[in-house]
Structure 1
Amino acid sequence: MDSLAAAPGTGPATSPLRLVRSVRAPRRFEELPDGRTLVMGILNVTPDSFSDGGSFEETGAAVDAGLKMHYEGADIIDVGGESTRPDSVRVSPEEEQARILPVVRALVKAGVLVSVDTMNASTAEKAIAAGAVLINDVSGMDVDPQMPELIARTGVHYVLMHSRGAVRSRDPKASYESVVDEVISELSRIREGFYAAGVSPEQIIIDPGLGFSKDGEANWELLRSLDQLNGLGHRVLVGASRKRFLGTLLATEGRPVPPRERDDATTAVTALAAFSNAWCVRVHNVSPSAAAVKTTAAWKG
């Protein structure tokens, strides 16, 4: 973990672990800040994610990156061990767990609040045992049948994301007559299965699934309708960071800009989502979004 640079004023001998412990971190989900939109840092422990695949494949590098995002202002670090980029190949739950569990344990030990991005109930269960407080499930309408019972039994919080069809397809079933109404209806239907298993409404967080089975205009329409999504009665998570519809927005000569050149647009979405009362934004580049949510909170008073 020596690769993490010390913050100004800490001196070169300050370790990342001591650096993070100098910041008061919430130890439980209930201790997360209230009164502003939260920032979730994305930590992909995979070789093939669309934006940063391979950057944090080694455990030490992943832990360093998670601690750095935490120090930059991430309220939660979301650790994922399986890419969902278009045409990526599924990995076994065992491989997924081998990638993420050492990272989860190290971050939790350092006082970081950890979420785990997984579609597998077996991985979720082991991650919760390792200290994760939130399960971020992008499986959409194909939820692992064991997931509702696990969430009910453990009492952790759960992100229910909207998607149609295989999450790795480019735009499966991306045609909607009224995308906002249909997303709300389909999320409500999936939610009933969790209620039936004993999951409380307070445990569920809604994610409209930007970029998952949605084209660019559908994504913008959902972002313009965050008030209606909030009307479901749950916290709302917005995950627009570096996504293709932002690359298309910034296209030059008809070519979308690459993922790492989409951070300014991501920060703009963060500010607007915060102004529209999103509970949390999920981002690759934490520092600008952390500044944006604080600025928006001050603007709103």
Structure 2
Amino acid sequence: MRSGIVAIVGRPNVGKSSLLNALVGQKVSITAPKPQTTRHRIQGVLHGDNAQIVFVDTPGMHRAAKKALNKAMNDAASNSLHYVDLALFVIEAGRWTDEDEAVLERLKSVKSPVALVINKVDKFSDKNDLLPLMEKLAPLREWAFVMPLSALKGANVNVLAKQLMERMPEGPPLYPEGQVVGHDLSFTISEMVREKLMRSLAQELPYALTVETEAVEREGGLLKASAIIWVERDGQKKIVIGEDGAMLKRVGTAARRELEEMTGGKVFLKLWVRVKEGWTDDPKALSRFGYEGG
């Protein structure tokens, strides 16, 4: 039996969460077309015949850590690299930025093997167009391997999984057979609501809010849950609620439907919106809301 831990790292918005979901075969980490959607270390488990991999999806590393929240996310991503058996450095095909360079710089201190994953190759009809980037990156460090793939289309994802299985050290499983998600239902509910907010709200507002699950209980076949959406200002609260409560209802309905699909049963979800000024730069608030490094 082989088992180990693999960190998925990279700058924001390169498809790390989509890759994690594709590898384990179900939605474990929320996704949205906005940078820094992932704020916590998310664990997803891949089970093989004689191997198990625990993937850790990390927040996107970014240079501008102006607030305590940004620093906490950077710290969560960096700290994930200290105990893994292998790290996957994910970049976007055809695009190399200063933030990619900054992540590569942080990886210099990582003692574990690092593999280069070039995601979103489905954007290129001619794969030869990827060669200049691969030739540029190949000599920058000693890579465990280089893997071009498309997490969205599933191209080469199984090849990557097989490669990783073979590289895991010998050892017993870290999670029971069949367990795919490494966090509890309360966390799942918070993240699911936050994903719907990220997808529904424009511009900067999603970065000024967080979601805290207040209660979860089962009554027969019904799952009852309540959660608080925290924002920084009264004006933001009005936007999240929407005219006559329309936005809050839309977000709640979308989250409830996905929870029902995930759990296979009926869900009653109640949402509130409350204001906590400056929570993104308040270490005590960050600690309460579960942000590592806060």
Flag the structure with more relative contact order, 1 or 2, with Cα contacts below 8 A and sequence separation at least 6: 2
Structure having the higher strand fraction is 2
Same fold, judged at TM 0.5 (above)? no
Larger Rg: 2
TM-score of the pair, normalised by structure 2: 0.31
TM-score of the pair, normalised by structure 1: 0.30
